[in-house]
């Protein structure tokens, strides 16, 4: 790592503005935005310590085609260099650019995982996911932004973003994917509907009511 000289702290408003700009650019790309930058971060991390120096960080932003000026890249680097040691930590960086899910959305993410994890192992196989995942219910497919195959490929490749192609999905990887996807969906009821329809979770009301599960009208013998 190259030596790093202490720099004057830039105005907080400037750093916050750039951070919001970065979030908007990543949001437009859905789950592939944050996960893509996470994947490239690991590629740039030649030392494998989960940290990048200023030069590596700048190359990372360029690789993700974020079109930031040198001054903007430096501003973001200084913002994320929380310990002032000339390095940006991956976990802190992702925490900064990814909006956390609220409790309501996390509830459905946990519910879907639990339905899939029938043996309670805390892991899902990618083959199991591919067999149950209904890409047609993705909001980006409905808006015509992506095809079902594109969403399915993105969905499966996301869980092997760190290069560990073990064919399994942990709860952490599952939450990471939906945290990234959640950032691209504005309304809670749309997110709930997507989760219900994608994983066939019955129930819901109003705009969030499940519309993919089979409905059966049963008439009792007494009429």
* pLDDT tens, position by position, 45-97: 888 888 899 999 999 888 877 788 898 888 889 888 888 899 998 877 877 87
Q: For residues 199-209, give the mean pLDDT.
A: 86
Q: List CB contacts of 35: < 8 A, sequence separation 6 or more.
A: 158, 161, 176, 177, 180
How confident is the prediction for the chain on average, in pLDDT? Answer: 81
Q: Which helix (H) or strand (E) is 125 found in, with range?
A: strand 123-125
More confident: 99 or 187: 187
Check residue 9 and give its pLDDT: 46
Q: Is residue 32 helix, strand or coil? A: helix
Q: Tokens 């008439």 map to which residue?
A: 219
Check residue 53 and give its pLDDT: 92
Q: Tokens 């971060």 map to which residue?
A: 41
DSSP line for 36-56: HHHHHHHHH-TTSSSEE-HHH
Q: Is residue 169 helix, strand or coil? A: strand
pLDDT band at 140 (very low <50, low <70, confident <90, very high): confident
| Contact of 70 with 197, CB cutoff 8 Å | no
User: Is residue 163 over pLDDT 70?
Assistant: no
Q: Judging by DSSP bridges, how do beta strands 123-125 and 51-52 pair with one another? A: unpaired
Q: Residue ranges of the alpha helices (H) in the chain? A: 12-27, 31-44, 54-63, 70-80, 90-97, 103-116, 126-132, 139-142, 148-158, 171-182, 188-198
| Contact of 55 with 4, CB cutoff 8 Å | no
Check residue 105 and give its pLDDT: 93
Structure-block tokens of residue 134: 């209904």
């Amino acid at each position: 790592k190259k030596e790093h000289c202490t720099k004057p702290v830039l105005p907080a408003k400037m750093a916050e503005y750039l951070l919001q700009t970065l979030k908007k650019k990543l949001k437009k790309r859905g789950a592939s935005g944050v996960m893509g930058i996470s994947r490239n971060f690991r590629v740039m991390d030649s030392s494998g310590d989960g940290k990048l120096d200023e030069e590596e960080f700048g190359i990372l932003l360029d690789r993700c085609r974020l079109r930031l000026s040198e001054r903007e890249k430096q501003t973001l680097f200084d913002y994320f260099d929380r310990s002032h040691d000339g390095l940006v930590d991956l976990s802190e960086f992702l925490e900064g650019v990814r909006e956390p899910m609220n409790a309501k959305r996390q509830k459905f993410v946990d519910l879907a995982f639990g339905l899939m994890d029938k043996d309670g192992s805390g892991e899902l196989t990618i083959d199991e996911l591919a067999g149950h995942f209904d890409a047609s219910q993705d909001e980006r497919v409905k808006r015509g932004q992506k095809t079902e195959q594109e969403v399915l490929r993105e969905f499966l490749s996301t869980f092997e973003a760190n290069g560990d192609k073990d064919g399994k999905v942990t709860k952490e990887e599952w939450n990471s994917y939906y945290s990234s996807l959640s950032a691209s969906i504005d309304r809670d009821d749309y997110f709930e509907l997507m989760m219900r329809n994608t994983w066939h979770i019955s129930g819901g009301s109003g705009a969030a009511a499940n519309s993919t599960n089979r409905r059966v009208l049963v008439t009792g013998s007494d009429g």
